[in-house]
Amino acid sequence: MIARIPESPGLRDLGVTNWLVCKVIAARQRVPRAHLFTTLGQHRRLMWSWLPFGGMLMRGGKFSARDTELVILRVGHLRDSQYELQHHRRMARAVGLDEATQERIFQGPDAPGLADRQRALLTGVDELIETRSLSDATWALLATHLDRPRLIEFVMLTSQYDALAATLSALRVPLDFDE
């Protein structure tokens, strides 16, 4: 699969600030290039609009890192987003979601061994991705585990990573790790 946007743009394509940010992100991720960022960085204002929003949802919101990674892994799995899965499987392990738990997340809400909260989150992700909405029953289930701000954040987090998966696929952003 060939990237639709040049995958290793230079200083001229990114501008000094975006070029430097992409280098820092790649170093933190321990990859030669952070392809998502070198791709989005070619639309300079868009990248700087998206970064705070995506960053807040990923680590600056009210969700725990474990809940956030559970949601992202399920979205990545449902959308077959290898880019998301490649990064977030590592991040999930770092916050305590081991391989066995990740496999249960991929199996879905009926997988044995899930906590009730995990089951509720997975049910919500599945329904939101499939129907673009949530039934009253699923909303009520989520509301037994999440307060009002977290309910809002759940919808935004799920939708953001669904949109990101679509962006990665449509632009054919290459993987960062050779696996």
Query: What one-character DSSP code corresponds to residue 174?
Result: P
Please name each of the domains of the chain with its CATH number. 14-55 (no CATH), 61-170 (1.20.1290.10)
Q: Which residues contact 7 (CB under 8 A, 6 or more apart)?
A: 33, 35, 38, 39, 173, 174
Residue that is written with structure tokens 């249960």 in the block: 104
Show pLDDT as tens, one digit a residue, over the chain (179 residues): 788 998 767 888 899 999 999 999 999 988 888 999 999 999 989 999 999 999 999 889 999 999 999 999 999 999 999 999 999 999 999 999 999 999 999 999 999 999 999 999 999 999 999 999 999 999 999 999 999 999 999 999 999 999 999 999 999 999 998 76
Cβ–Cβ < 8 Å for 14, 34 = no
Q: What is the pLDDT of residue 110?
A: 97
**pTM of the predicted structure, to 2 decimals:** 0.94
SS3 per residue for 91-109: HHHHCCCCHHHHHHHHHCC
DSSP percent split of the chain into helix, strand, coil, nearest 5: 70, 0, 30
- For 139, other C-beta atoms within 10 Å of its C-beta total 15
Q: What's residue 177's pLDDT?
A: 86
